[in-house]
Amino acid sequence: MANDTTLKPTTRTKPKPKVERPKLYKVILLNDDYTPREFVIMVLKAVFRMSEETGYRVMMTAHKLGTSVVMVAARDIAETKAQEAVDLAKAADFPLMFTTEPEE
For ligand TYC, the nearest residue by Cβ is 62
Instruction: Give the closest residue to 57 by CA, choosing from 46, 70, 47, 48.
Output: 70
Whether 8 contacts 81, CB under 8 Å: no
Furthest-apart CA atoms within the chain: distance in Å: 82
φ/ψ of residue 5, rounded to 5 = -70, -25
Site membership for ligand TYC, residue 85 (CB under 6 A): no
| Residue 100 in the binding site for ligand TYC (CB under 6 A) | no
- Asked if residue 75 binds ligand TYC (CB under 6 A), the reply is no
Mark the segment that binds ligand TYC (CB under 6 A) among 4-12, 31-39, 45-53, 80-88.
31-39
Minimum Å gap between C-beta 30 and ligand TYC is 6
